[in-house]
Chain A
Amino acid sequence: MSAKRKYKRRYDSLPTVLLFVLPALIPLIVFWIYPILRTIYLSFTNWDYISPTYKLVGIKNYLSLFRNPRFYEALWHTLVFTAGTLFPTIILGLVLALLLVKNFRGSGILKFIIFSPWITPTVAISIVWSWIYKTDGGIANTILTSLGMSPLKWIASSDTAMLSVIIVTIWKSLGYAMIFYLSALEKVPGELYEAGALDGAHGWRQFVDITLPSISPTTFFLTIITMVNSLQAYDQIQVLTQGGPSGSTRTLLYMYYQLGFNEFNMGQATAVAVVMILLTVGLSLIQFKVSEKWVYY
Chain B
Amino acid sequence: MNTRYSDNRALPVRILSILGKVLILGTASIFTAFPFIWMMVSALKTKADILNTEIFFPTVPQWSNITSIIFDSPIPRYIFNSAWVSAVIVALQIVSGAMLAYALVFLKFRTNKMLFAIVMATYMLPVAATYIPSYIILADWKMLDSFRGLIISSTVSIFGIFLLRQGFMQIPKGLVEAARMDGASHWRALWEVVCPMTKASFITFGLMNFISTYNNYMWPSLITKSSEYFLVSQGLRAFFIRDGAYGTEWALVMAASAVVVIPLLVLFAFTQKWFINGIGGETGIKG
Q: Hey, which bits of chain A sit against chain B, CB under 8 A? A: 3-4, 7-8, 10-12, 14, 16-17, 19-21, 23-25, 27-28, 30-36, 38-39, 42, 92, 95-96, 99-100, 102, 110-117, 119-125, 127-129, 131-132, 137, 139, 142, 171, 174-176, 179-184, 187, 190, 193-194, 197, 214-218, 220-221, 224, 228, 231-232, 234-235, 238-239, 253, 256-257, 260-261, 266, 269-270, 273-274, 276-277, 280-281, 284, 296-297
Contacts and interface: CB of A to CB of B under 8 A. Distances in A.
Interface residues of B, number: 94
Given A20-B186, A114-B28, A190-B2, A121 B42 contact: no
Contacts of A30: 137
A183 B233 contact: no
B250 to A, nearest CB: 6
A24 B161 contact: yes
Interface stretch (B66-74, B107-115, B195-203): B107-115
Contacts of B279: 176, 179-180
Given A121-B215, A273-B132, A127 B253 contact: yes
Nearest to B268: A119
A270 B134 CA distance: 12
Nearest to B180: A7
Contacts of A231: 126
For chain B, what secondary structure do more than half of its interface residues adopt (helix, strand, loop), or is it mixed?
A: helix
A36 to B, nearest CB: 6
B175 interface: no
A184 B239 CA distance: 41
B236 interface: yes
Contact of B38 (A35, A102, A128, A284): A128
For chain A, what secondary structure do more than half of its interface residues adopt (helix, strand, loop), or is it mixed?
A: helix
B19 interface: no
Given A117-B32, A131-B254, A35 B130 contact: yes
B272 A112 contact: yes
Contacts of A115: 268, 272, 275-276
A122 B37 CA distance: 16
A279 B234 CA distance: 29
Interface string B248-261: 00100110010011
A35 B134 contact: yes
B102 interface: yes
Interface of B: 1-5, 21, 24-25, 28-29, 31-33, 35-36, 38-39, 42, 51, 53, 95-97, 99-100, 102-103, 107-110, 115, 118-119, 122, 124-134, 136-137, 152-156, 158, 161, 177, 180-181, 186, 211, 214-215, 217-218, 222, 232-234, 236-237, 240, 250, 253-254, 257, 260-261, 264-265, 267-269, 272, 275-277, 279-281, 283-287
Contact of A120 (B265, B283, B287): B265
A36 B125 CA distance: 9
A239 B156 contact: no
